[in-house]
Amino acid sequence: MINVGIVGGTGYTGVELLRFLVQHPEVNIQAITSRSEAGMDVAELFTSLRGHIDLKFSDPVESKLETCDLVFFATPNGIAMQETKSLIKAGVKVIDLAADFRIKDIAEWEKWYGMQHACPDLVAEAVYGLPEINREQIKTARLIANPGCYPTAVQLGFLPLIEAGIVDINHLIADVKSGVSGAGRKAAVHTLHAEASDNFKAYGVPGHRHLPEIKQGLSRIANKPVGLTFVPHLVPMIRGIHATLYAKLAEDVDLQTLYEKRYIDESFVDVLPSGMHPETRSVRGSNLCRIAVHQPQNSDTAVILSVTDNLVKGAAGQAIQNMNLMFDLPETMGINQVPLLP
């Protein structure tokens, strides 16, 4: 059994981790930390977990995380980097669901996240946890930087085109929509029901924190810098990411065959038949990314539609997928649930 600790178990990604981990046959949840809720039964805060977990939230100082095999950080940016070094030194593996270890350029990270990095030496070691690209490195990693929700949908959508070298990488466009749970569980005016419901808006057009992460990933695939316009939107739904991606084709190719071949062995990427349009509800509650490929009017523009659940493949599910790889377990173990419909 893998003895697991969760730091920051009261947010949406924290409870999503719990939802999957309590059903995982090879996991023992040893500790769930929360300074604000220390001493409270987990099932009292999250009644969906009644009958599945009998732990209480504990203060991080008293949680003995150094005795775990693996610790998940489901915390705001800037927390994991304060504690990861001591855990790694104690022989504990770490998966950070925030952004502390995603961007290799420390100055770039500090610019976008507005703070000084506490352990830049570990950033170089951290493996970016997108299994469809870095599966072999993940298997031997001590520290995983779990990808963001927007970056997961965008990179999986563009990946086959860039790998094949058949698109203009200087003018990629990602038009992406997210449900409000992507903003976290904290109270904020823009996610109040009266603000977000019956409304649809773009935000972060001059620059969004996920932009450097996406560009870094796509540039690695291309082995050269890419040009990307990334525009995120907030839509009035709880879960879901819908990425509409545009790329100019440099040569004629069968896009459907290209995508089907690239993802044929990927358990969590489903390439839909030609002409279909994926829906966010078709992946709700699951670790799936569903992709559809289009070439409107046989033009030189590829339009890729990529949908995920931002809390699962965009966060907790992908983190457990990485855990399975790190501990030599079947990659789908504990996260192969059927999506929720309706």
Widest distance between CA atoms in the chain: 62
Annotated catalytic residue: which of 68, 119, 149, 289?
149
- The answer to whether residue 119 is catalytic is no
Cross-strand bridge partners of residue 201: 234
Q: Residue 291 and residue 231: Cα distance in Å, rounded?
A: 19
Q: Residue 313 and residue 315: Cα distance in Å, rounded?
A: 6
Peptide bond into 342 cis (omega under 30): yes
User: How many CB atoms are located within 10 Å of the residue 113 CB?
Assistant: 17
DSSP letter for 9, please: T
User: How many CB atoms are located within 10 Å of the residue 55 CB?
Assistant: 17
Planar angle of CA 107, 111, 117, nearest 5 degrees? 60
Q: How far is CA 36 from CA 18, 31, 58, in A?
A: 18, 15, 9
Contact between 102 and 148 (Cβ < 8 Å): yes
Q: Residue 178 and residue 32: Cα distance in Å, rounded?
A: 27
Q: Residue 267 and residue 132: Cα distance in Å, rounded?
A: 10
Q: Residue 185 and residue 174: Cα distance in Å, rounded?
A: 26
Q: How far is CA 185 from CA 15, 75, 229, 336, in A?
A: 11, 11, 28, 25
Q: Residue 298, by phi and psi: left (phi above 0), alpha (psi -120 to 50) or beta?
A: left
Active site residues: 149
